[in-house]
Amino acid sequence: SPVRRFGVFTGELDKLVEWLQSCGVKTVAMESTGVYWIPPYQKLEAGGLELVLANARHLRQVPGRKTDVKDCQWLQRLHSYGMLQGSFRPAEEYCRLRSLMRHRENLVDGCVQQVQYMQKALDLMNVRLHQVVSDLNGETGLRILDAILAGERDPKKLTSLRDERIKRSTPQQMEAALQGDWREEQLFILQQARETYRFVEAQLARCDGQIEKVLQQIVVVAGRGPSLEPPLNPTAAPTSRKKKERGPRKTGHGLKRDLRAELQRICGVDLTQVIGLNVLSVLIIISEIGVNMSRWRSAKAFCSWLGLNPGNKISGGRVLSSRTPHVVNRVSLLLRTLATAVGRSETWLGIFHRRMKARLGPAGANTATARKLACLIYHLLKYQEQYIDVDTLIYAEKIQRIRLNKLRKTAQELGFELLPIKEA
């Protein structure tokens, strides 16, 4: 087959699409390299070609034969044999949402960086504001910062700006912490960081508005409804305890808009009812994977794609390693982070996390709990089931039965009989 070289400019990419169409090409395989594959991918996709985005790690060749021409020929050869497995890429509307969510993450990081600059400037002036308030960018912290930048230096007047609900310090402690060595250069740095923080916050609000606009443009696929599949957990029973609903946050870097109804329209179910998930975490998840779970044949395949399943490295009948593979995935990282918070809750999933922590350690418990969350998300999105929480007493009784059956089996294998202690 002929090999032809094209440039990277838009006009050259248009010529590439026209040439492939003139050659009668129906499907194209390409290698993912940084972000440079995205423009040609989008052009080829718009041209009606079927694309297979191959992982560069899966394209190993004989060492010493590495050139651009040989690489493209090797890629074409593997694709003609059907040996390439395409990487996952969500639908176009979710790609737009994903770009905005990742940009939002960068803006939040920018806010955090400016808070660190402000804290450092205060430390160099021996103003220990961050030790007497829990959050420097909270309402009280920002009021005091603005007063300092406006020229106020009296600790008593600055302390009068504190919120009465603050429990981290007393007014006397705050007054002592606000006595500092006011240096001109550090006040200038503090002012610059505060102005940058205010600007990035405004950008964050505009980004949230654009995210809401993109969500409203997503069209729900017709025919999505409750599935006839069996329920996710037959032992689960409805409980009177409902997850406490919270509105949009007034401070911090959370979403200032309540998008729960919009997310429920897109997903078909309310994922925020799942333990540990809120509006922002659900938004991150669907921006990365979409809502079409048919791309994965089962929940196990979905967890394997997330890197939450044990490895399977066996040779000669001997297990060489079963460590969880290293996978760079934002959803996986988010679920592991949520698992840490879930482990401190008094829920059935919190009980599960603490059991796994005693057996596997903190990292293993986070992975196991993250896998539980991934399975819940997969089933809710695929089968359109409403989440039913498991009562903690029912779950504890189930664990007790499992432990008892295991003890009886062990006793039987050792030739003993397990009998309960009779109450006096």
Indicate the pTM of the whole model.
Answer: 0.83
Q: Which long-range contacts (CB under 8 A, 24 or more apart) does 259-266 make?
A: 259/211, 259/212, 259/215, 259/283, 262/212, 262/215, 262/216, 263/215, 265/220, 266/215, 266/218, 266/220, 266/291
- The per-residue pLDDT for range 292-320, each reduced to its tens digit, is 999 999 999 999 999 998 888 777 778 77
- The per-residue pLDDT for range 267-278, each reduced to its tens digit, is 999 999 999 999
Partners of residue 86 on adjacent β-strands = 54
Does residue 371 belong to any structural domain of this protein? yes
- The per-residue pLDDT for range 194-215, each reduced to its tens digit, is 999 999 999 999 999 999 999 9
Residues 24 and 48 in one domain: yes
Partners of residue 312 on adjacent β-strands = none
Does residue 128 belong to any structural domain of this protein? yes
Residues 292 and 372 in one domain: yes
Q: Into how many domains does the chain fold?
A: 4
Does residue 234 belong to any structural domain of this protein? no
Residues 355 and 285 in one domain: yes
| Measured distance between the N- and C-terminal CA atoms of the chain, rounded to whole angstroms | 89
Percentage of the chain beyond pLDDT 90 is: 61
Tokens for 122, please give them.
């205060």
- The per-residue pLDDT for range 110-152, each reduced to its tens digit, is 999 999 999 999 999 999 999 999 889 889 999 999 999 999 9
Owning domain of residue 47: 10-87
Q: Kindly indicate the confidence band of residue 78, based on its pLDDT and cuts at 50, 70 and 90.
A: confident
Residues 147 and 54 in one domain: no
Average pLDDT, the chain: 87
Q: Using CA atoms, how far apart are residues 355 and 100, in angstroms rounded to an integer? A: 38
Say which residue, 126 or 56, is predicted with more confidence.
Answer: 126
